[in-house]
Amino acid sequence: MLDLTPLYSGQLTLMQFAAQFTPDDLRKFTNEMIDAQLALIQDCDDADVTFQPTDPNAHDQFAQTAEELNIAWTLGHVIVHTTATAEEAAAIACELARGVPFRGGRSRVEVPWQTVTTIAQCRRRLEESRRMRLALLDAWPCEPDLHNTYQYSPQSEPRNALARFILGLKHETDHLNQIQEIVKQAQAVNR
């Protein structure tokens, strides 16, 4: 799996870290990430998908309703969230790689988490996300434009296609422990 230690430790900036990778590396990391999530949920059943875990740190600044602001996320919720974020990163990265100037805004659609109630849906969502991200990498030119960058905010460093794609993988990595904890809690109650 992608070792993000140099980013987490501050040893390298995102752009420095991303510079060592190729689109083929991104394909490999995408497959490893999806496989890791599938492995975490391999023994889950439908009851585990909708199980409401305990999470004292739950806070969703982008919650759609006030009731959802501090609820702990279900397994289905985390899966649709991580895949949507990684797909957004892949879509923006594809445009940057093709030389398209960043136009601002979001390029994101998240499956309504309330509709994900079965383990089959979670697995299907992960495989669909794998297919979409790999297809977006296939749309990169043979020589991607790595000088085409944008800044998320005035304080952030510029990001190119490699960096943007890696941010999606980093976000997923940040949720792996959450998935593992949800599964652990769910199976303690449901088994």
User: Residue for token digits 């085409």?
Assistant: 148
Q: Which of 88, 91, 85 minimizes the C-alpha distance to 171?
A: 85
For the chain, the structural domain boundaries read 22-190
Which residues, in sequence order, are bridge partners of residue 150?
Answer: 159
Whole-number Å distance between alpha carbons of 82 and 74:
12
Whole-number Å distance between alpha carbons of 16 and 157:
11
Whole-number Å distance between alpha carbons of 171 and 160:
17
Per residue in 124-180, pLDDT (tens digit) is 999 999 999 999 999 999 999 999 999 988 898 999 999 999 999 999 999 999 999
Q: Residue 80 gets which letter from DSSP?
A: H
Whole-number Å distance between alpha carbons of 189 and 101:
50
Whole-number Å distance between alpha carbons of 129 and 138:
14
Q: Is 66 in contact with 174 (CB distance < 8 Å)? A: no
Q: What one-character-per-residue DSSP string does 32-63 give?
A: HHHHHHHHHTTT--HHHHH-----TT---TT-
The pTM of the full predicted model, rounded to 2 decimals, is 0.94
pLDDT for residue 63: 74
The CATH number of domain 22-190, selected from 1.20.120.450, 1.10.1740.10, 1.10.10.10, 2.40.50.100: 1.20.120.450
pLDDT for residue 191: 75
Whole-number Å distance between alpha carbons of 181 and 99:
40
Amino acid identity of 135? A
Taking the chain (191 residues) in consecutive chunks of 10 residues, what is each chunk's mean pLDDT? 96 97 98 98 97 88 79 95 97 98 87 95 98 98 97 91 98 96 94 75
- Coil, strand or helix: which one is 109? coil
Which residues, in sequence order, are bridge partners of residue 159?
Answer: 150
pLDDT for residue 105: 79
pLDDT for residue 61: 79
